[in-house]
Amino acid sequence: MLINNDTIIKDTDPRIRMKSKPVSLPLTEEDKQLLTEMYTYVKESTDPELAEKKNLRPAVGISAIQLGVPKQLTAVIVKELDKNENEVVYEYMLANPRIVSSSVQKAYLESGEGCLSVAEEHEGYVVRSARVTVQGYDLLTDQKITIRARGYLAIVLQHELDHFSGTLFYDHINAGNPFPKVADAVVI
């Protein structure tokens, strides 16, 4: 499947609101190929030359429903700095991931969130859990895994898993108060 900015469905397409179904494990060859292509999109989208050549918008994640495929598949690549300022790269090709626990403490991106399926800018804080534990099958490691995520990675995982229920990031923005003061929130 060709994945680029033209083939990713936008929020004007009703399919983006469809509920995604779990996939069978072990993964079919078709699901493995789709997940691999999604991962490749995310990886290549952050290379300016490849992004321009292949018509890719920069991304840290993509879910299958964004390609019109209502399956619980998502690929995520997040680069962060650890406490010693060393780059850490989190890479996942997840099937059937689900949040099994989340913190009471909240977090949000100060600059707001964006999405490959959303062309227009939507200003406001998307308040999410600061920490989540996600379980699912990871094709990269070929095993069921548990991810204990905090900060930016936690936000990205929640954003991608929201797609499984047809939820877009701006659904979380309070129209009456888009920039609320959130006590004790982690601001990223």
Catalytic site includes residue 120: no
H helices of the chain, in order, are: 29-45, 48-54, 151-162
166 Rama class: left (phi>0) / alpha (psi -120 to 50) / beta:
left
Distances in whole angstroms, Cα of residue 36 to Cα of each of 1, 24, 69, 93, 118: 11, 16, 14, 7, 23
DSSP code at position 118: B
Pick the catalytic residue from 29, 44, 91, 160. 160
DSSP code at position 160: H
* Contact criterion met (CB below 8 Å) for 161 and 65: no
Containing 178, the helix (H) or strand (E) segment is none
Strands (E), the chain: 61-63, 73-81, 87-102, 106-108, 128-129, 131-138, 143-150, 186-187
Which residues are tagged catalytic? 160
